[in-house]
Chains A and B, each alone.
Chain A
């Protein structure tokens, strides 16, 4: 069999097996509080907006001492374009949110953002 035949065959097979259309995946997200924001009071929610549905598989909130603070989420780990979780009442300090997720196009994603609650 000649190579040209292989190349033609692979092209045909690729078309046959080509996956359904998917939009470009999200690489950046919009967060609330904004990254680097300085707040006067504890935020009522922590939210992230994606440009395509995302299953957030992990979210953690830690303070400057590395202590974890539980957040309450209601998405049931379903794909959402806007994710939100309620933190407990947080004292003044610096906080970091870390998350991981699986985008609708199958890409694993991760991100972090930080905010501060002033005295």
Chain B
């Protein structure tokens, strides 16, 4: 794993960074919509700010997603800039599952921008956009493998839960900086009530996904992919478990307008944001340079030569 990371070329690293930024912008765009729809006590100015943020991030996610096409074409031609503009390579990549995934994501991101329309029309369209963006990620990588329906549902659930979590950062952070302790407490209460279910769903989805992709969780822990996945999952669950507990503990303090509670919440959100960014980067690396060992079946009948490991990109 470390040797693969060390040997990655410039285009591979650029692909990893763009992929991580796609995750971040898409999650914030989706999460902002989910916050608008689920956090009922958000004040009107905060709803307006979230609408702008979701549209801004949707546009960013769209542009970054499109950048993945020439980057993939470049990789296929030996990580050359000439490859990034090769019409045949670009066509080949556009017609691959990556192209389908990006096309659906662009539709979803466009629908998210409908949040600027009047609420009666804009909110349902944006909600459908969130679903489409989440679904766009299941077109990729291991969601293509059997049992694909279950994997698609689990990965979508995972993305949706994470989006909800990330989307709550901005309103909670902004409101906790203003003199609105009771409103923050109420919103934190709304968030914590839903977050308990999200933590449970993410735990279940992560564990089942690892088991499905690697065949056996214990065996998987002896593979580099399984170890990377397990570390990521463990850190992620640790973070959200801690954050859920923290918010649940902070909520009563915020509701009681205890001094220092808002500052504590802001610190907690800053820390969570940094850790989530690290996890997104880790995921981008994981999905670009490694694969589950369960897929490493070698043609045992072929005795004509030895095998050589290959790197790949995919999943999300």
Partner of B149, one of A14, A28, A35, A109: A14
Chain B count of residues within 8 A CB distance of the other chain: 63
- Interface segment out of the listed B111-119, B153-161, B179-187, B265-273: B153-161
Which residues in A have their C-beta under 8 angstroms from that of B294? 24
B38 touches A3 (CB 8 A): yes
The answer to whether A13 and B156 have CB atoms under 8 Å apart is yes
Q: Is the CB of A14 within 8 A of B135?
A: yes
Q: Are B141 and A107 in contact (CB under 8 A)?
A: yes
Chain A residue with the shortest CB-CB distance to B303: A30
Cβ-based interface call for A102 (8 A)? yes
Q: Is B198 an interface residue (CB 8 A)?
A: yes
A29 pairs with B76, CB closer than 8 A = no
Q: Quick check: B149 and A18 within 8 Å, CB to CB?
A: yes
Please report the C-alpha to C-alpha distance between residue A28 and residue B163 in the assembled complex, in whole angstroms.
35
Q: Are B295 and A31 in contact (CB under 8 A)?
A: no
Asked whether B312 is an interface residue with its Cβ less than 8 Å from the other chain, the reply is yes
A38 at the interface (CB under 8 A from B): no
CB distance B152 to A18 under 8 Å? yes
Which residue from B98, B143, B194 sits with its C-beta under 8 Å from A3? B194
A86 within 8 A of B: no
Alpha-carbon gap, A31 to B309, bound state (A): 11
Annotate A54-98 by CB proximity to B: 1 below 8 A, 0 otherwise.
Answer: 010110100000000000000001000000000000000000001
**B314 nearest CB neighbor, chain A only:** A107
A57 touching B89, Cβ below 8 Å? yes
Tell me if B197 counts as interface (CB < 8 A to partner A). Answer: yes
Q: Which residues of B contact A57 (CB under 8 A)?
A: 76-77, 89, 92
Interface of B is mostly: helix
Q: Is the CB of B308 within 8 A of A10?
A: no
- The A interface is mostly helix, strand or loop, or mixed, namely mixed
A-B contacts counted at CB < 8 A amount to 176
Residues of B within 8 A of A37 (CB): 305
Picked from B34, B92, B295, the residue with its CB within 8 Å of the CB of A25 is B295
Across the interface, do A10 and B131 meet the contact criterion of CB distance under 8 Å? yes
Q: Mark A1-39, 1 if CB is under 8 A from B, else 0.
A: 111101101110111011101111111111111111100
CB <8 Å contact, B157 and A24? no
Determine whether the beta carbon of B308 is less than 8 Å from that of A14. Answer: no
- The interface size of chain A toward B, counting residues with CB under 8 Å, comes to 53
- Other-chain contact of A101, B76, B93, B130, B134 (Cβ < 8 Å): B76
In Å, the complex CA distance between A55 and B93 comes to: 11
Q: Which of B198, B297, B308 contacts A31 (CB 8 A)?
A: B308
Chain A: CB-nearest residue to B77: A58
Q: B307 contacts the other chain (Cβ, under 8 Å)?
A: yes
Choice from A17, A28, A49, A105 contacting B135 with Cβ under 8 Å: A17
CB of B65, distance to nearest CB on chain A (Å): 15
Tell yes or no: B63 within 8 A of A by CB.
no
Query: Apart from A10-B160, A108-B72, A113-B306, what are 19 other A-B pairs with CB-CB below 8 Å?
Result: A13-B156, A14-B138, A14-B152, A22-B148, A24-B294, A24-B295, A25-B291, A27-B291, A27-B295, A28-B308, A30-B299, A30-B307, A34-B305, A49-B302, A51-B299, A102-B96, A108-B313, A108-B314, A111-B309
| B contact set with A: CB distance below 8 Å | 34, 37-38, 72, 75-78, 88-89, 92-93, 96-98, 100, 104, 127, 130-132, 134-135, 138-141, 143-146, 148-149, 152-153, 155-157, 160, 164, 194, 197-198, 201, 291, 294-299, 302, 304-314
A residues touching B (Cβ–Cβ < 8 Å)? 1-4, 6-7, 9-11, 13-15, 17-19, 21-37, 49, 51, 55, 57-58, 60, 77, 98, 100-103, 105-113
Give 23 A-B contacts (CB < 8 Å), ordered by A residue. Answer: A3-B197, A6-B34, A6-B130, A10-B153, A11-B156, A13-B131, A15-B152, A19-B97, A19-B100, A19-B143, A24-B297, A29-B307, A30-B306, A30-B307, A57-B92, A58-B76, A77-B88, A102-B76, A102-B92, A103-B312, A107-B141, A108-B314, A111-B309
